[in-house]
Amino acid sequence: MRKTLIICSAAIAAASCGSHLAAIRPDAIKPAVVTQPTPHDTDDPAIWINPADATKSLVIGTDKDSDGGIFMYDLSGKIIKKSITLKRPNNVDLAYGLILNGKKIDIAVTTERETNKIRIFSLPDLEPIDNGGIAVFEGELQRDPMGVSLYTRPQDKAIFVVVGRKTGPSGTYLWQYQLSDSGNGTVAATVVRKFGNFSGKKEIEAIAVDNELGFIYYCDEGAGIRKYMADPAAKNDTELAFFGTTGFKQDNEGIAIYKSTNSTGYILVSNQQANTFMVYPREGANGNPDDYPLLAEIPTSTIECDGADVTKVNLGGVFNKGMFVAMSNGMTFHFYEWNTLQALIDAGKK
């Protein structure tokens, strides 16, 4: 019998998840773990895989407030560390093997909305390595950074940050920066690309990058999911696909990419006001890598999810087939056993 570990109190959940929010479906899958609550407003998670022992992997997630930060959790959902105070951190992503001071380090990058910066931290110690932050969208009237995702180019391991904002012009809504060693022990960033269509309906926040296949996906809220090449050296800013334009109750939000193999798997997108996740084939369909039919719609217990992450790595215990992590209203993140989601995808439930 599987035991569900719930650390968030009923009182906190009731206070934060009132009747004005989307209702959880009766058939919703239940999380194996609900994390300790943060003080303010969780937004986006990322899973760091411990290279020495995957069972000691960690989840990091943002707490979105003027007195916010990045919180680090163990696999039982316990908060084990908080970053320095950040001014409304929004989304977060991570990458492995950035060269700094001649050594490879893992990093987490988050947007700091109130300062118009990205912040960079070493992992797993969660210490800042950005000399107070790196300004983004410089020279623009529309800044207010929100979404962020990291791309590691396979051939040379160069690391790039894709940043979105609260609003911006269609065609150059997203900016891409290459990270490098500044020479003084901190990380520098250089703009290498400006791209990305925008419907103008709401905003672009959720961004995900598929390193192996070389694609960027982002949610144009209220419109659909857009796909672009990830490598700026390709000099190709053509939109490759625009999918998920129907079936969402309101907003298409957080994106997670499950990698069954180097080239197959699933793209999961939060149907925020329905408390479900829409599942699409990572490799495309019908012989077309840019064709993304809906495979399944999975009801979850997360409430109005903003962000998610997923891994197939065996993390031990109930997560021996991998783990799916999703933000939930109530200042928490939910950890799900991947095999529970896989069973629904296999059954083709929608």
Q: Which H or E run contains 242? A: strand 241-243
Distance (Å, rounded) from C-alpha 205 to C-alpha 90? 9
Show me where the domains of the chain are located: 5-347
Distance (Å, rounded) from C-alpha 185 to C-alpha 202? 39
- What is the pLDDT, as a whole number, of residue 348? 81
- What is the pLDDT, as a whole number, of residue 151? 98
Residue pLDDT, tens place only, 176-210: 999 999 999 899 999 999 999 999 999 999 999 99
The tokens describing 19, both together, are: 């009747």
Distance (Å, rounded) from C-alpha 332 to C-alpha 156? 37
| CATH tag, 5-347 | 2.120.10.30
Q: What is the DSSP letter of 35?
A: P
- What is the pLDDT, as a whole number, of residue 19? 54
* Euclidean distance between the first and the last CA atom of the chain, given in angstroms as a whole number: 27
Beta-bridge mates of residue 119 = 110
SS (H, E, C) 262-305: CCCEEEEEEEHHHCEEEEEECCCECCECCCCCCCEEEEECCCCC
Residue pLDDT, tens place only, 48-94: 999 999 999 999 999 999 999 999 999 999 999 999 999 999 999 99
SS (H, E, C) 114-131: HHCEEEEEEECCCEECCC
Q: Please, which residues have CB within 8 angstroms of residue 174's CB and are 6 or more apart in sequence?
A: 147, 162, 163, 164, 168, 194, 195, 196, 204, 207, 216, 218
The tokens describing 278, both together, are: 């829409």
Helix, strand, coil percent content, the chain, rounded in steps of 5: 10, 45, 45
Residue pLDDT, tens place only, 286-329: 999 999 999 999 999 999 999 999 999 999 999 999 999 999 99
Percent with pLDDT over 90 in the chain: 92
Q: Which amino acid does the sequence have at 36?
A: Q
- What is the pLDDT, as a whole number, of residue 98? 98
- For 323, half-sphere exposure in the C-beta direction (CA atoms, 13 angstrom radius) is 31
- Residue 199, burial from CB neighbour count under 10 angstroms (0-12, 13-18, 19+): middle
As a dihedral over the C-alpha atoms of residue 121, residue 307, residue 27, residue 19, rounded to 10 degrees, the angle is 110
Whole-model pTM: value is 0.93
- What is the pLDDT, as a whole number, of residue 166? 96
- What is the pLDDT, as a whole number, of residue 4? 36
Residue 228 has pLDDT above 50, yes or no: yes
The tokens describing 254, both together, are: 């957080």
The tokens describing 107, both together, are: 């990093």
Residue 20 binned pLDDT confidence (cut-offs 50, 70, 90): confident
Residue 12 has pLDDT above 50, yes or no: no
C-beta of residue 274 within 8 angstroms of C-beta of residue 248: yes
